Structure 1
């Protein structure tokens, strides 16, 4: 394993997932609620690992060669984000998440994973960043395997920290107003990403 390629992959991988996005907001929310956190973290990390491996293996060239594929992903991802953002805004206006989390039934593991995987795989930015960009940069290294492992490690570290570290915010989110602010922020993030996709 080449240390230079590993740390280059780690640094680039971390920088690409550090910004708050649809997937990160969902992981944060699940961590605060302490609902299916390990499953969500594993789903995100494994999805990233598959996408990174595909990018390093050259899948990015396929996406570039088939413009219609990226167009389908762009429009489908935007539609999903608009709907998810609307649901988050509805929750912000209702403001009952804190009470519902304490007294109502939590979403099942399958429901939670379905949302998590949709947020991950229906987001065209994931393919552009993880597959195309990481794949292009990895091509500059002789040891692409070390580069890929570094990027995968960054993903595991980030999602684990976000998912399990979010519980430290639990005292803040005992108040309904904090949930209103979080859900409104999630809605804005979802809609801003959807707008950027629709506007190209």
Structure 2
């Protein structure tokens, strides 16, 4: 089985398109105007064991906010579409990622109820064209659009690059784990649905 989807969004500020296959490990092609964001998205999708093509164009390049927000919207919407009715998925994912000095916990619930709860101590204002505040904004927007509860907690670390990269690795690994089909036809919820 392969869960594939495409999604695009165009506003006066940006144009973002994605083609995503969450069940096939393949090429990862990421193009945004933010170098470090490209690195983190590539990392996340790589650890999701996915195939993806994502292109984001900034029509009004004032800063990185609009691109980060709209990419998060598009990734979240695409993931939601790939999952469909969420029948049979494991639902939960949890990992603690070490990366040199950094140690980060990521835990998710594909519940249909989006929410992000983030505890990070990041010391830089930006890295590679990405404002640190937009790391939080990306996770929050992704959570809301995909209907996923995401908890991120920094347990150790001082190097901003290492901490953020551990976060995106953790997101990829937990999304992969939680989206696996483990009980076909069964909804892991006492409500009988995972739609929020």
TM-score normalized by the length of structure 2: 0.25
* Structure with higher RCO (Cα < 8 A, 6+ apart): 1
Structure with the higher fraction of residues in helix conformation: 1
| Larger CA Rg, structure 1 vs 2 | 1
TM-score normalized by the length of structure 1: 0.25
Structure with the higher fraction of residues in strand conformation: 2
